[in-house]
Copies of this chain bind each other. A is one copy, B any other.
Amino acid sequence: MQLMKASWVEVEEYLQTSKAIVIPIGSVEQHGPNGLLGTDALCPEIIAHRAAAQANLLVGPTFNVGCAQHHLDFAGTITLRPSTMIAAMQDWIASLRRHGFERIYWLNGHGGNIATINAAFAEVYAELSFAKTPPEQALQLKLQNWWQLPGVTELCNEIYPVGHGAHATASEVAVTYAAYPEAQKQVEMTPKIAPMGEISHAYAYRQSFPDGRIGSDPSQANVEDGERIIQKAATALISEFTQFSD
């Protein structure tokens, strides 16, 4: 079930059976010459929605804008400062806890979010930890990157043995192409495989990675590959989330 398309009555009923929810979390940032700006938000959303269509699992709204300061020299990138993201995640979690959710599974689509998501978890936990008495309501916060769901990295490497890369990867572009075929873009990559390197601020980033890609050749991406990855990830998500829910 997608929370965004459910009524409050339906969510209330769901809560009779489970205190767990999936929140897709991503970023809006450049993904090279043929990747979508929304890639990192769309991938976990696509996978979670697929899972929700195949199992009894509640998916919340997508936390779409994350930590992408290093991509700001490329048009269209939008970022939160980490401190803002922590505040926003606190509010989301406080809202969900208000309804009785006790297990919140953040399905992440962006490596640059990982630190801040974990910092936000600690910020929320700290409130419970400072209290002189144990919390009456349990709370478990889990971060999972979609590409690290069991079996997914293996599949991606199998499909793209060369030029999978680290940003604007062949696999994430494929996932979005499978879900939004009309958004496919034919672009020749120069160089074929992008360079690797270190990340700091946006001006340094662009010097190291002139077209935005890191280590990848995303021109390999296609709908069929994307479909395989989505299904693999969705199946793994169902399994992992089911375990997490109990």
Contact = CB atoms under 8 A, between A and B. Distances in A.
A200 B201 CA distance: 31
A152 interface: no
A216 to B, nearest CB: 14
A182 B4 CA distance: 13
A226 interface: no
A4 B180 CA distance: 11
A146 to B, nearest CB: 17
Contact of A201 (B115, B139, B202): B139
Given A7-B37, A200-B125, A64 B64 contact: yes
Nearest to A90: B84
Interface string A68-97: 011011111111111110111011101110
A148 interface: no
B75 A122 contact: no
Interface stretch (A9-17, A153-161, A189-197, A229-237): A9-17
B122 A99 contact: no
Interface string A1-36: 011111111111001000000000000101111111
